[in-house]
Structure 1
């Protein structure tokens, strides 16, 4: 670390499986061979109240422990929690918002605006996943149905409320295995009610069509071995012009989700256009004539 001239950092607060609070700090820099490197400096127990003041002090102490000068920190990337945003402001550091977290919030807000029908359909998916997770006999029956119908022998996917991608994967798996699920569940009167109605399937297909193309953007902008901030502007351009552009074949729900996600992202990145322009222009991958 002594040879690092300029660097940026990423940080996050999280809880262990036993609900103990921690804070992590990772430093990113270019070495003398012009290679991008990342090093996790610390994952520290953080029992103090998660106020902006305490986080700000903890981050400054972490840099000082490694003899890293704050003035040489180009920027810090965080999620959009009010306490971490305040901490960065108190330290007077330049903050870059995490694209993955921002995309998650955009999708979460879009889904909330259509909550009634979506919550019912995703709730049925979760009940189906739970049913097959808790019965090995049902899993065997599902596998037999998959073989009979020439479907991929995939297990159900459990979703996590803090990761929109897991919900999309759960929905996609239910749609993929719809005929096998129907074959197994329809033979048992006790669980026949778990079968999605045609209205539920229409909602699930609409949500899946809007969200499934966004998985690639999360992966592309979450890399540690390459610069990712210069990808934000091209990504936003693609989202606006093709990926989330309305299609004539889209249902009203798909159109609504696409519009709300785009509106949220465009609004949140409006204030950082100069920074995004500079970084994209300087990246050889996006040079044009």
Structure 2
């Protein structure tokens, strides 16, 4: 039935846009019967139908252009109104003159929610095909003060590849107690149709509320190595001898940060002394590793700094000779820990297996010469603080000839190193070695990693390895373990998953266990990365963005690699 509807006032642009994008069949019919349509000629209206190749091609191009604009919003974390900005419209008019971009409401109310559901369904299908998955979770407060809880999933697929997905970054406007966090996680798992028996483990920070929530859910738990290490190193940086160095490094940075004149003077001295033209780096109180470049700047640029900071007020910021040696020792201790933290934060490689081996190896190396020495921490701290507070700028010139001073300095450096390592490993030991269940979990993961199995053979006999075999034949499983032990371990720089892809047919039971436990994350950094996306979505200019739209945009931006597949 054909029908014309006259309007008494205004225009029908909104109605036409609605028909054009949401009801293409009706829009085609409208084009045929509208005498004033842009596709009619002055003589006779052309007849179009839905099967017309020209119209079909036009609709296809419009859909493709619309999809491209939607991808720009979701992948690049652009605001909805970017499609209405003059520059964007001009760009589209040049690239595709026939395309008229829809309004932002079309994207916010239709296109983005549709893409969200498509990507979610696509990820659901991938998760249905795995036997086990691991989770990471954390809580976050956006720039506008809105609380969220994030949850990520990690799997090892049939091709022995690591895959990570964002399940949710959803609003959490209730109290962040353990009961509510537990219910929020369970609700997300329910929405995704994830059987809790498939959860191999969950990695979180060490907040008491989230630890209790995990305990209530009875999941295998691993404390985030990054958070534990950050706590330990922060405590180590609070030791008075170390504070002398870190506080001076921050003060020196401030001098150059607020004065362009001092920056020019520094550059001139660096040129004269043939030093690398480094600038004082910034640091963050919540990121311990950001202090390392500051300390390195103080150490490597000391000659230039002494020529610039010559006034009494600034000279007090310069490190003494002893403090310079202490900075060198601090960097020597911290650099390997920083590299270990970065390695364990990967989402594409096995990380949990490195926890036990690296920590036990490092602790043995660090305490090898002191494990039988019973020391009083307070006495060492007091003596070291006194030693490194002494002013000795001139020792650099004649210190090498004074054997007594060198012995005292060496002893003081060793004492501070002992205090630092003891402070750090006290936190690490509490989270990974004192809890029997956690220690057993990461030792099992290390045994299943062909790179580290040699370190854990003595700890894991066949009776300690849980069997997932459907053959009900323990003898076969034990024989498989014995064969696995006899095979030479893989190189430390090799890919564990690539190794299992080759040998999975020889070890069917162990390979199943490996896919279960090696997908567990060593850190909750995947959730931290998720919140970085959230910070790019909820910016200072988008503080009024609704929680629902924010959840969809964060989800799509983190899972942007799935948008094309959807």
2:422 paired residue among 237, 255, 259:
259
Given that 1:182 and 1:195 are in contact with CA atoms closer than 8 Å, whether structure 2 keeps it comes out as yes
- State the match for 1:127 in structure 2: 251
Q: Residues of 2 paired with 1:47 and 1:155: CA distance?
A: 43
Q: In structure 1, what is the equivalent of residue 297 of structure 2?
A: 173
Match of 1:242 in 2: 365
User: Among residues 4, 11, 16, which one is paired with 2:137 in the alignment?
Assistant: 11
Q: Which residue of 2 aligns with 1:65?
A: 191
Structure 1 length normalisation: TM-score?
0.89
**Cα shift at 1:287:** 3.9
Kindly state the Cα deviation for residue 183 of structure 1 after the two structures are TM-superposed.
2.0
Bigger-Rg structure (1/2): 2
Quote the residue 2:431 is aligned against.
268
Aligned: 1:137 with 2:261: yes
**Bigger relative contact order (CA 8 A; separation at least 6):** 2
Alignment partner of 1:217 is 2:353: no
More strand per residue: 1 or 2?
1
Select which of 172, 175, 180 maps to 1:54.
Answer: 180
TM-score (norm 2): 0.47
Contact 1:125-1:171 within 8 A present in 2 as well: yes
Of 151, 155, 164, the match for 1:29: 155
CA distance in 1, matches of 2:206, 2:133: 21
The answer for unaligned runs of 5 or more in structure 2 is 1-123, 371-406, 455-487, 489-566
What is the root-mean-square deviation in Å for CA atoms of aligned residues?
2.4
Q: Which residue in 1 is equivalent to 2:319?
A: 196
Q: Which residue of 1 aligns with 2:171?
A: 45
Q: Compare 74-83 and 18-27 and name the one that shifted more.
A: 18-27
Measured after TM superposition, the shift of residue 221 of structure 1 is 0.9
Larger displacement relative to structure 2 (139-148 or 192-201): 192-201
Secondary structure of the residue aligned to 1:264 is: helix
Separation of aligned partners in 1, 2:269 and 2:146:
43
Q: In the alignment, is the contact (CA less than 8 A) between 1:8 and 1:75 conserved in 2?
A: yes
Distance change in 2, residues 1:156/1:285 (3 Å):
same
- Is 1:93 aligned to 2:219, yes or no? yes
Question: Do the aligned partners of residues 153 and 245 (structure 1) sit closer, same or farther apart at CA in structure 2, a change above 3 Å counting?
Answer: farther
- The verdict on how the C-alpha distance between 1:178 and 1:16 changes in structure 2, with shifts beyond 3 A counting, is farther
SS in 2 for 1:254: helix
Distance 1:110 1:91 in 2: 34
Could you say if the C-alpha distance between residues 118 and 62 of structure 1 is closer, same or farther in structure 2, counting changes exceeding 3 Å?
Answer: same
Change (3 A) 1:150 1:246: farther
**Aligned-residue offset at 1:169:** 2.8
Please list the CA deviations of residues 183-229 of structure 1 after superposition, one character each: whole Å capped at 9, or x if unmatched: 2222x555333323345434433433322221111011111001111
CA 1:42–1:139 in 2, change beyond 3 Å: closer, same or farther?
A: farther
8 Å contact 1:246–1:258 — kept in the other structure? no
CA–CA distance in 2 between the matches of 1:89 and 1:238?
29
Partner of 1:76: 202
Deviations 1:69-101 (A, max 9, x none): 222111110010111111112222221111111
State the aligned residue count. 286
State the secondary structure of the residue aligned to 1:227.
coil
* Matched position secondary structure for 2:175: coil
- Equivalent position SS for 1:32: coil
**443, 448, 453: which one pairs with 1:282?**
448
Q: Could you tell me how far apart the structure 2 residues matched to 1:180 and 1:244 are?
A: 37
Distance 1:110 1:278 in 2: 30
Give the whole-Å Cα distance in 2 for the aligned partners of 1:203 and 1:168. Answer: 13
Distance 2:217 2:188 in 1: 13
Separation of aligned partners in 2, 1:89 and 1:182: 55
SS at match of 1:22: strand
Change in CA separation of 1:213 and 1:243 when aligned onto 2, cut-off 3 Å: farther
Deviates more, 1:83-92 or 1:71-80: 83-92
Q: Are residues 1:231 and 2:333 paired?
A: no
* Consecutive unaligned residues in structure 1, runs of 5 or more: none
Preserved CA contact (<8 Å) 2:157 2:163:
yes
- C-alpha separation between the residues in 2 aligned to 1:223 and 1:232? 13
Q: Is it true that 1:162 corresponds to 2:286 in the alignment?
A: yes
Counterparts of 1:45 and 1:176 in 2: how far apart (Å)? 47
Distance 1:44 1:224 in 2: 21
- Are the equivalent residues in 2 in contact too, given 1:14–1:21 (CA < 8 A)? yes
Indicate the residue corresponding to 2:59 in structure 1. Answer: none
| Aligned-residue offset at 1:286 | 2.2
What CA distance in whole angstroms lies between the structure 1 residues aligned with 2:357 and 2:322? 36
